[in-house]
């Protein structure tokens, strides 16, 4: 008898304030169980975070072969965190894939948080089936970026760290963290974002910009003040995008690994 074909993976989103997870139906991109959130421990050390990830994964009580995708707020090069800006420096140089695999004993894929969110938006959200070049920017403590062209993700673009023509790093000038810290008005913030978008548009000429992060809900307050050739639209999956994109990537990686065996 043909084995029943299941398309499920667990997605985990690691952030500075919370670690969230849910099992995802990859046909629809919807959660199949309640999302669980545990606060990120203050020291955010690799061991402490790995323990929480295990607690969340175990709570879903799914078979051992269900893969886990982990969205992480740093670049991920062949499973390793080369540098990290907005979470504990203890992560620098850590082989995150190995760490989580040892803890979870399941197939694991770790990827950058903005890449995970962007991948989800292209598959299930605001850029669904869009064949063009899409640049996703997540506006939070930092600025994350995902570049997707014809459905293919170019990982680890890290565009939040580009130096703007005025000589300052984009995320230190225009993240939503800076907006809050410096108590900027939406007009002032929009002017700063304008510089970021103008520069990125010059470099990549995308067909579409998608903005994510909590503040994308309020896009009507600042996006109309930004002038770009490509439209800027808000992410659709919002809070769930990192979880869904990580789950999808883990599922696809696991399938590829299975074929190689
Ligand atoms: C990190 C990126 C991350 C972004 C959003 C940046 O500081 O370098 O890897 O995607 O913050 O979390």
Q: Is the CB of residue 115 below 6 angstroms from any atom belonging to ligand 1?
A: no
pLDDT, tens digit, for every residue of 158-178?
Answer: 999 999 999 999 999 999 999
Domain membership of residue 247 (yes or no) is yes
Task: Residue 111: give its domain's CATH number.
Answer: 3.30.420.40
* Closest-lying ligand 1 atom to the alpha carbon of residue 84: 8
Domain membership of residue 121 (yes or no) is no
Q: Give this prediction's pTM.
A: 0.95
- 93 and 138 in a single domain? The answer is no
- 132 and 231 in a single domain? The answer is yes
- 172 and 250 in a single domain? The answer is no
Inter-residue contact 169 to 129 (CB < 8 Å): no
- 105 and 131 in a single domain? The answer is no
Domain count of the fold of the chain: 2
Q: Is the CB of residue 86 below 6 angstroms from any atom belonging to ligand 1?
A: yes
**Mean pLDDT of all residues belonging to the chain:** 95
- 223 and 134 in a single domain? The answer is yes
pLDDT, tens digit, for every residue of 235-247?
Answer: 999 779 999 999 9
Domain membership of residue 197 (yes or no) is yes
pLDDT, tens digit, for every residue of 214-239?
Answer: 999 999 999 999 999 999 999 999 77
- 110 and 17 in a single domain? The answer is yes
Inter-residue contact 235 to 116 (CB < 8 Å): no
Domain membership of residue 1 (yes or no) is no
pLDDT band at 260 (very low <50, low <70, confident <90, very high): low
CA 109 to chain centroid: 13
Q: Is the CB of residue 38 below 6 angstroms from any atom belonging to ligand 1?
A: no
Residues 148, 134: Cα–Cα separation, whole Å = 5
User: What value does the mean pLDDT take over residues 82-111?
Assistant: 97
User: What value does the mean pLDDT take over residues 79-106?
Assistant: 97
- 53 and 87 in a single domain? The answer is yes
User: What value does the mean pLDDT take over residues 240-256?
Assistant: 96
User: What value does the mean pLDDT take over residues 4-33?
Assistant: 92
Domain membership of residue 3 (yes or no) is no
Q: Is the CB of residue 177 below 6 angstroms from any atom belonging to ligand 1?
A: no
Could you tell me where the DSSP H helices lie in 81-206?
96-104, 113-124, 170-174, 176-181, 186-204
Q: Is the CB of residue 114 below 6 angstroms from any atom belonging to ligand 1?
A: yes
- In testing the pocket of ligand 1, which one of 17, 72, 74 has its CB within 8 Å of the most ligand atoms? 74
Name the DSSP letter for residue 85: S
Q: What is the pLDDT of residue 239?
A: 76
Domain that holds residue 73: 8-115+240-260
Q: Is the CB of residue 74 below 6 angstroms from any atom belonging to ligand 1?
A: yes
């Amino acid at each position: 008898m043909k084995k029943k074909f299941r398309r499920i993976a667990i997605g985990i989103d690691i952030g500075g304030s919370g670690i969230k997870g849910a099992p995802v139906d990859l046909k629809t991109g919807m959660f199949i169980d309640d999302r669980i959130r545990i606060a990120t421990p203050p020291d955010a050390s690799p061991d402490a975070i790995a323990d929480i990830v295990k607690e969340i994964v175990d709570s879903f009580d799914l078979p051992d072969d269900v893969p886990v995708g982990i969205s992480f707020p740093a670049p991920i090069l062949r499973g390793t965190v080369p540098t990290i800006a907005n979470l504990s420096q203890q992560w620098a140089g850590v082989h995150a894939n190995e760490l989580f695999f040892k803890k979870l004993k399941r197939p694991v894929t770790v990827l950058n948080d903005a890449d995970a969110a962007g991948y989800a938006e292209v598959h299930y959200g605001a850029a669904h089936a869009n064949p063009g070049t899409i640049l996703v920017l997540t506006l939070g403590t930092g600025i994350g970026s995902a570049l997707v062209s014809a459905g293919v993700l170019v990982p680890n673009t890290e565009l939040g760290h580009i130096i703007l023509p005025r000589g300052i790093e984009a995320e230190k000038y225009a993240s939503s963290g800076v907006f809050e810290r410096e108590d900027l008005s939406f007009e002032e913030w929009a002017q700063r974002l304008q510089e970021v978008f103008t520069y990125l548009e010059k470099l990549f000429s995308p067909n579409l910009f998608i903005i994510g992060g909590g503040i994308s809900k309020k896009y009507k307050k600042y996006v109309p003040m930004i002038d770009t050739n490509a439209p800027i639209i808000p992410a659709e999956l919002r809070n769930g995008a990192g979880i869904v994109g990580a789950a999808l990537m883990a599922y696809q990686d696991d399938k590829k690994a299975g074929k190689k065996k």
